[in-house]
Amino acid sequence: MRLEGKVALITGAGSGIGRESALLFAQEGAAVVVVDVNQAGGEETVARVAAAGGRARFIKADVSKDDECRAMVAAAEETFGALHVLFNNAGIMHAADDDAVNTAESIWDLTMNINLKGVFLGCKHGIPALRRSGGGSIINVASFVALLGAATPQLAYTASKGGVLSMTRELAIIHARENIRANAICPGPLRTELLMKVLDTEEKRQRRLVHIPVGRFGEAVEIARAALFLASDESSFVTGSTFTVDGGITAAYVTPE
């Protein structure tokens, strides 16, 4: 098992990438702390892990709140004795996120607080726990729009994910000699509830699909598999990297016919 003996904390694990990662990490031997603001979703993830024979605990936490991030890390150590993998996955893409002129300040602040500040707070409290366990892996979810401008206006989301990417590089350098690795995953468009709520018509979905060389949306489990590699010792010489899992979207100038 690729994560035997490891403890992983995954934010936003009540659905999507987070849930698929929790299931996969547990299957590979990790004890998993499932963190989400959605209690029903988080508890369902824990139940599915348990049904498959894995170990997991749900912690309800808002990653934009300092005290709740401190508590989720403390719960990981109290329950499972250590923390080895910190997967900062929680994020939002608000339907009212638009261009600079039309995005409300409240939407900007909400997006930054969850997508960017949430990663900072996860690291603020998670890194001391990783130190106590002798090192580990930080995995942050950025986005392909951190590398390319988005044709569909979503300025707050794009800016927040660019910040996650820059923060990850600095974390990697600062903590490299502590046996703490930090890497960012940049997913392409996925068939998740989060994106499908935004792309709520067939026309909107087709506008996005035409830019993806492989011709389909990605699946959450495909990102979970990338996260598994970064969580495992197989990636022991990988830090400060941008792991792009996007169906070729950032490599394409034009898509094939």
Q: What is the pLDDT of residue 254?
A: 65
Q: What is the pLDDT of residue 19?
A: 98
CB 218 within 8 A of CB 187: yes
Q: What is the pLDDT of residues 5-18, one digit of tens each?
A: 999 999 999 999 99
Active-site residue list: 157
154 DSSP assignment: -
β-pair partners for 7: 31
3-state SS, residue 137: strand
CA 144 and chain centroid, separation = 13
Q: What is the pLDDT of residues 153-181, one digit of tens each?
A: 999 999 999 999 999 999 999 999 999 99
Q: What is the pLDDT of residue 257?
A: 58
* Residues of the chain scoring pLDDT < 70: 254-257
Look up residue 216 and give its amino acid. R
CB 255 within 8 A of CB 210: yes
Going from the N-terminus, what domains does the chain have, and what CATH number goes with each?
A: 7-245 (3.40.50.720)
